[in-house]
Amino acid sequence: MTMMPGLIDVHVHLCFEPCADPFAVLAQETDARTALKASGHARETLRSGITTVRDMGGKNYVDLDLRNTIRKRELMGPRMLASGKLITMTGGHGWPEGEEVDGPDEARKGARKQLKKGADLVKIMATGGVMTEGVEPGSPQLNGEEIKAAIEEAHKAGKKTATHAQGTAGIKNALRAGIDSVEHGIYLDQEAVDLMKENNVFLVPTLAAPHWISTKGREAGIPEHMVEKSDAIREVHVKNFMMAYRAGVNLAMGTDAGTPFNLHGKNSFELILMVENGMPSMDAIKCATSNAAQLLGISRETGTITPGKWADLVILKGDPLKDIQEVDRVHRVYQHGREINPQNLMF
C-alpha cells in the first residue's frame, strides 16, 4: 500500500448536482434542497481521499454555511475554503448564481459584499464559459479595471483571488490586474504563460470538466450549447495545459466537480487525465498535495506528511507512481488524524 498526504481539490462546486444540466437543477430547487445535496456531496468527496477543497461558487451562500458546519464538526466533509457568489458582469458567465456588476465601483462593492459574508477568496469571471447559454468561452467579459478593483479589495483583506478565464484576452486582463490563480486557462498563449511565471500565478486546468461533457454528450441529455462549446475547446485545452507545465508554470489540481457528470467523490480522475496527457505521475500528485496547499496558503498545515501538520492522510491499495489509476483505489482516509468511517454522517 501507499500512504500519501490527503488530496486537495482547489476547484469544486459542492452545491451542483453533476447531472446533464446542473444550472437548470440549481435554479429550480430550494436553498434547503441544495444544502441537503451539498452535504452529501461533501461526504462523498471526503470519503474518496479529498481532505480539503476550495469551493468556487454555490447558491445564495449555501457554500459558506456548509463550510461553517463542517468546521464546527457538525457534519462530515472536507475542510473547505469558499468563495460565496462569483463576481460577473450583467448577463456574464454564471450570472444566475453570481453577483452581477458593471464598472469598477460595482466590482469593488461586489467583492466587499463577499468578504462581508465571510468568503475565503474572491472569484472573478474574466471570460465567457461553456455552461452558460449565450456566452462564448473565448470572449472577455469583466474588463481589466473591473477585475483590478475586485482584486484590490480581496488583497486589502488578506484574501486571495481566482478567475474563471478561458479566452486569451480575458486571461491577460486578469493577469495584469494581479490575479492569484487562473482557472481553466484554455486559450493560453506564450505571453500569458510568461506573465504567470513572472508573477507566480497558478494554473488550475480542470481537464475533467470538458472531458465529461464531451464524453457523455447529447445522448446523456447535456444541452447542445454545452456539448458544442466543449467539443471545440478540448484539444486546445490539453495542448495549452502541457505548454504551461513544460514552461514551469505552477499548477494545482482542480476538477470543477459538479459540472455535468463530473462526480463528487471521483475527483482523483483529474490526476489520471493529467498523466494520460503527458504529466509524470509524481508531478500530478504534487498538483493535488504540496502545490495545492501552496496555492491555498495552507502549506504550514497540510500538503506533505510532516511532523506538526494536520495528519490528513490517504492510504491507497497500490502504488500510484507505477499506475496512476491507483489514486482511485482508496483503502483508508484520515482527517486531522481521525479515520473517516464511510458509514458516518458526522464525526
pLDDT by residue (tens digit) across 29-78?
999 999 999 999 999 999 999 999 999 999 999 999 999 999 999 999 99
Give the confidence band of 135 by pLDDT, cuts at 50, 70, 90: confident
pLDDT of residue 341: 81
Give the model's confidence band at 106: pLDDT under 50 very low, under 70 low, under 90 confident, else very high.
very high
* pLDDT score recorded for residue 209: 96
Query: Residue 345 has what pLDDT?
Result: 56
Share of the chain above pLDDT 70, in %: 98
**Separation CA 93–CA 129 (nearest Å):** 6
Q: Which three cell numbers stand for residue 131?
A: 455552461
pLDDT (0 to 100) of residue 129: 87
Per-residue confidence (pLDDT) for residue 136, from 0 to 100: 81
Distance CA 201, CA 179 (A): 7
Average pLDDT of the chain is: 96
Interval 221-232: pLDDT, tens: 999 999 999 999
Is the pLDDT score of 296 beyond 80? yes
Q: What percent of the chain has pLDDT over 90?
A: 93
For residue 268, which amino acid is it? S
| Cell reading at 282 | 509524481
Start-to-end CA span in the chain (Å): 26
Instruction: DSSP letter for 52, please.
Output: E
| Alpha helices for 72-204 (secondary structure H) | 104-117, 144-156, 168-177, 190-198
The CA distance from 345 to 328, in Å, is 22
Say how far apart CA 68 and CA 243 lie, in whole Å.
38
Residue 134 has pLDDT above 80, yes or no: no
Residue 92 backbone class (left: φ over 0; alpha: ψ -120 to 50; beta: rest): beta
Identity at 149, one-letter amino acid code: A
Average pLDDT of the segment spanning 81-97: 95
pLDDT at residue 346 is higher than 70: no
pLDDT at position 212 is 97
Each residue of 151-169: pLDDT tens digit? 999 999 999 999 999 999 9
Q: Residue 74 CB: number of other CB atoms within 10 A?
A: 10
Q: Cell 462564448 appears where?
A: 136
* pLDDT score of 150 more than 60: yes
Cα(60)–Cα(205) distance, rounded to whole angstroms? 26
CATH class of 4-308: alpha beta
**Range 284-289, long-range pairs (CB < 8 A, 24+ positions):** 284/253, 284/324, 285/4, 285/320, 285/321, 285/327, 287/251, 287/252, 287/253, 288/7, 288/8, 288/9, 288/252, 288/253, 289/4, 289/5, 289/6, 289/7, 289/8
- Give pLDDT, residue 259: 97
pLDDT value for 342: 67
Q: Is the pLDDT of residue 86 over 80?
A: yes
